[in-house]
């Protein structure tokens, strides 16, 4: 799960570091993104089953570990970065591609 989370974060980092929105969107809609999304979709039932075995305290600990990871901090910073929010609001296709990667193929965007 952590590797998948980190792979998704690395892809987001590379794509959003690209100043050209067209190139960034191409990265987020490319083969690597499709592979990450496929892995995420395949892992979803396994992760859900595993989460059901955790106590509330264990779930909270896992959540904190993910939030405090490098990728978790990066994702949190994206949400707080006014420049990035403006960039995404200005380009709905880029915003949708980021939301798809963050939320997964089976969940609605934020």
| Domains of the chain, residue spans | 2-103
Which pLDDT score, from 0 to 100, does residue 100 have?
93
Q: Is this prediction's pTM over 0.95?
A: no
Identify whether the C-beta of residue 97 lies closer than 8 Å to the C-beta of residue 87. Answer: no
Which pLDDT score, from 0 to 100, does residue 106 have?
62
Low pLDDT (below 70) residues in the chain: 106-110
- Residue 94 and residue 22: Cα distance in Å, rounded? 8
Which pLDDT score, from 0 to 100, does residue 54 have?
95
pLDDT in tens, 88-102: 999 999 999 999 998
């Amino acid at each position: 799960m952590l590797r998948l989370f980190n792979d998704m974060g690395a892809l987001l980092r590379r794509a959003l570091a690209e100043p050209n929105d067209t190139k960034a969107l191409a990265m987020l809609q490319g083969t690597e993104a499709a592979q990450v999304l496929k892995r995420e979709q395949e892992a979803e039932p396994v992760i859900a089953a595993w989460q059901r075995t955790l106590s509330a305290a264990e779930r909270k600990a896992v959540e904190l570990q993910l939030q405090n990871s490098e990728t978790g901090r990066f994702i949190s910073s994206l949400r707080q970065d006014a420049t990035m929010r403006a960039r995404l609001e200005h380009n709905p296709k880029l915003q949708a591609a980021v939301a798809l990667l963050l939320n997964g193929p089976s969940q609605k965007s934020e």
